[in-house]
A and B are shown apart, each in its own frame.
Chain A
Amino acid sequence: MDEKTLVRLSLEGNNDAFEQLVIKYKTKMVNLAFSMTRNRENADDLAQDIFIKAYGALKNFRFQSEFGTWIYRIALNHIKDFLRTENKVIKVPFEERYKEMGKQEDEMMKRERASVQEKRRHLVHEGIRSLPEKYQTILSLRDIQGFSYEEIGQILKLMPGTVDSRLHRARRLLRNKIAPFLS
């Protein structure tokens, strides 16, 4: 059954139809939340919240865009809100956070970062988290989730030229931040 039909059925009160949409998008939502929070617990909770929010806002779905684009927009806004409240509590500069990483990490992360590749991965993701919100979002969508420029333009409601320039700036900022630590 196509997604728009499932949305129509959900609007008529058919919760099974909405569950099918949940099953289809749950992994994508968890991945998106994980790519921006780097925390599995938070990613799972956020994905649940996103679906509840989407269910409540289903009456606002206009059937002009794809359901996927629409739910990604809801997801990004929700994750950004979450990150904003989280950043209010902890606001440590990237360089200091990188030095302090060893003290705060749990056993699983220690094991994970044993290899050079894992260490690098952690560094890159910490670098992304230290960037302004709009750059975090575009890097997550393009370089982690692998969306095309056109899809990013639809999700963020941006012109293709803006996607290109914002992505360029985000990557350049990220490199400037983490290049001294890469070696």
Chain B
Amino acid sequence: MKCKHAERLILRSFDFRLSKVDQECLDRHQDSCGDCRRIKDEYDVILGTLHSTRFPEPKPYFTERFRARLKDTPAFDPFAAGKAWILKTASVIAFSAVVLSAGMIFLSPDPAVLSQENMSDSEILLLKNLNPFQETRTVFEAGSVENKNMMLIFSALGDKNGLRKYFP
């Protein structure tokens, strides 16, 4: 038996939680191990000292003093638990509302940025209540086909959407 295991058995023996077999094993180990005998003696002293602790009596008039303090304590409120629960819930809801609204204000994207990124020039003009065909009027009014094609090609160069590019 290892000394570490023996120490566990020694401690169990103080609580009378040792089987007969374990007790015999421990006794055999202790006969041959001076260290474990010393450890057992030390535990004997420590636990014996603890078991013999003397306790003071409560000071005089303990109950009378308690009665006086009890008078200062507020009486039972049957709705106290409910009130506390409502207060807690209300504070949690208020906090969540503050956090959510702050999140919506600070984290939502700017609508102006959105419109500029995703809208075509004609859509932006429509939003500004302007005629989107004003720009294209010159293209339609161009005399020759070559000029018209050239104008369309150059106007498509600035478009971000590749699908809208003009290929004559």
Which residues of A are interface residues toward B (Cβ below 8 A)?
Answer: 11, 13, 15, 18-19, 22-23, 26-27, 30-31, 34-35, 40, 43-44, 47-48, 51-52, 55-56, 58-59, 117, 120-121, 124-125, 139, 142-144, 146, 149, 164, 167-168, 171-172, 174-175, 178-179, 182
Contacts and interface: CB of A to CB of B under 8 A. Distances in A.
B62 interface: yes
Contacts of B59: 40, 44
Interface string B45-58: 11101111101111
Contacts of A178: 46
B interface SS class: helix
Contacts of B75: 13
B39 A175 contact: yes
A56 B73 CA distance: 8
Nearest to A172: B7
For the residues of A in contact with B, the DSSP-based class is helix
Contacts of B46: 124, 171, 174-175, 178, 182
Contact of B81 (A30, A51, A59): A59
A95 to B, nearest CB: 17
A77 to B, nearest CB: 19
Interface of B: 7-8, 11, 15, 17, 39, 42-43, 45-47, 49-53, 55-59, 62-63, 65-67, 69-70, 73, 75-76, 80-81
Contacts of B58: 26-27, 30, 44, 47
Contact of B53 (A48, A56, A144, A164): A144
B63 A26 contact: yes
Nearest to B57: A27
A120 B45 contact: yes
Contacts of B17: 149, 164
Contacts of B67: 15, 19
A155 B36 CA distance: 33
Contact of B55 (A30, A139, A142, A174): A30
B42 A48 contact: no
Contacts of A172: 7, 11
Contacts of B76: 11, 13, 58-59
